[in-house]
Structure 1
């Protein structure tokens, strides 16, 4: 039997770390992203933007040249370099805007190194195939199609049971890591598969290209800022905050129909969503 609980604003506020006078850029959370590609540089931009807007104190980007150039053009405060140097990373975000079929041997080695470390990792899109081999704490963030492929990698029927809660819990148990299954209602299954957190804070307007890249950046920022918190609860908080930002960006509060948005609108609305949550 899976314990299902709806995640709410009060839960998110409890998990959100508000900086104090004694904090510096490192203690606020250092996020490193190895995302985007020369083919899909926008994914890198969206994830980096979201990490900054969600409260990261320091953001480091490691990626292909075109993606790095796009990141710096949009967010010049980001440190972009071929490696992280001596930066004390609090959370990694990998895979957004990449394709496993195009992965070079060097890139695969770099991703495997990240996934064999001790730092929490958000594993998205083109890196999901590497998650079953990871030893690092992590959360995977598939959409429905990616989830079916992940289940197959885990030796589970890709079509599932037809019950998203059961399917997410089953995958989390097989992986031994948290699973964030995107959808109109986002589900976060804890690593033991015994508990699922349900997040239904997002408007339908959030179903837009790049929204997942933004979510990955938010999740990276929250994980880096709360190293002692439950990964599943941090993931649910990121999903709730992502949905609230989309609500504000689309003008769909209080039952209003709202209007179309793009993913960057969601990232830009994150500070207002945080202010709204904490007020």
Structure 2
């Protein structure tokens, strides 16, 4: 990473502060259908709405904000985009209390301290305070966290996952990055991406994300897949699964989603259930098998009790 005369920086730096190679941007797909085909090649079956939203985010160079119930494939979309476009994936997992030090950068304090001691020994105490301070705040001691990595490594896919878990202050912190594809490090200067990363933000809507952030993004509400699409996902992701079993599982999972459960199953849980049944060598979902394997698809004891009491209706 090199700094220009204005104090801004471009180039490559790895997570340990060392220089890294910047990948070349691949050719962009020419249409939503073409992008859907690329995503399908990774195993992600995108419906027209998702494919169009992702295509527009690429073409317009805008962040894509995906909101929806847990397990609808929001995170998987970012992973698939990175694979389909042959770009690095950089992921920031949000959580309560996340701050700039965890998301953007930190200074390597132990190495800075050792550096100061080495300078003192080499200069015999004659080193000026200004010169010593200036030597501390260079890329040599800068530890890049996911947001800074994304600006430096771009083109890439930056996944800001489960933004709703973070607080209002962190949302405000993201605004400069979303607006300008740049961040400012007070001791160092501005770091700006030469090529904007493709930013995918996800939310499970445990709280409302503020309008200021939404205005800077394209928005897409991600639904659970329809019946035929979910069957196709199971058959694509679980090689060798019997079509009859895939259809039985999908019908059962979609009925579970219509029940008043504490945690309705998503696509990830449907895949887990399918893997569990294939591991047991089952080619049919019957009441006994469903009762003993529900732990693959339901995660609360209250939900398990409720569903086991009505297995006949679940299996039709």
Q: Same fold per TM (> 0.5)?
A: no
Structure with bigger gyration radius: 2
TM-score normalized by the length of structure 2: 0.29
TM-score normalized by the length of structure 1: 0.32
